[in-house]
Amino acid sequence: MNALALQFIDLLAAVSLLLAFALLIQRRFSAMIDFYATQSLVLVITTSLAGWMTGQRHLYLSAALTFVLKVVLIPVLMHTLLRRLHLDSTVDTVVKLPTTLLMGLLLVIFAFGVARPIAQLSTALASGTLGIALAGVLIGFLMMITRSRAIPQVLAFLAMENGVFLAATGVTHGMPMVVELGIAVDVLIGILILGVFLSHLHSAAPSPGATAREGDGA
């Protein structure tokens, strides 16, 4: 039973990596938010399964916190922000999509090469997920530097945090609860600040109709 559960955890980690690639190549804001929420849900299932296998109850609390913040609250806030500011447009990228995808594949190979000797020395629950988690962090970082707008960059940062959380769950059986709460609060505050900033920026920018009327008057 434990061997089957370990294989299922590895499968969930692989699904999380695929969702990271989906975030990397996605071109619309709303779809990126949905993929992030799905990746977070996979992380919730992984954490709950790890808590059941190890008997560490704090992992259940971590899973519940992740579900409330990352699966429900943050996606709802970001979708609301998109609707209010009418920002559901195509994501601008600094690098062309095929090049970005190739860079992501190279980062996965690099991550597995770095993590393999570390995983061999580990006797943790699912040390095989370390390479996948590191690849998720690197893909999130790549997403951050290849996007030119704020919301995709914030989602990239959140995807990086999911990778760190996956590594903590699979390799060290979870971070201390104080650290998890601190990260969760920081992420939520960051989302709220981004929403306020973008709202003020949008309200301060002149609308195209107003600009055209001013030009006609001149």
pLDDT tens digits for 16-72?
999 999 998 888 888 888 999 999 999 999 888 888 887 778 788 888 888 988 899
Residues facing 147 on adjacent strands: 93
Name which of 149, 146, 148 is nearest 82 in CA terms: 149
- Mean pLDDT for 87-108 is 81
- Mean pLDDT for 183-205 is 60
What pLDDT score does 211 carry? 44
What pLDDT score does 1 carry? 46
- Mean pLDDT for 204-218 is 47
pLDDT interval class at 198 (50, 70, 90): low
Residue 119 has pLDDT above 50, yes or no: yes
- Mean pLDDT for 94-117 is 86
Note whether 26 and 35 are within 8 A (CB).
yes
What does the chain come to in residues? Answer: 218
Q: Which two tokens stand for residue 105?
A: 């594949």
What pLDDT score does 138 carry? 92
* Stronger pLDDT, 189 or 29, i.e. the higher one: 29
pTM, rounded to two decimals: 0.78
> How many CB atoms are closer than 10 A to CB 31?
14
**Residues 6+ away with beta carbon under 8 Å from 124:** 170, 171, 172, 173
Q: Per-residue pLDDT tens for 128-187?
A: 678 888 899 999 999 888 887 777 888 888 888 888 888 877 666 555 554 555 566 666
- Of the listed ranges 25-34, 92-101, 113-122, the one predicted with least confidence: 113-122
What pLDDT score does 181 carry? 57
- State the DSSP code for 92: P
Residue 85 has pLDDT above 80, yes or no: no
Burial of 184: CB neighbours in 10 Å, binned 0-12, 13-18, 19+: buried
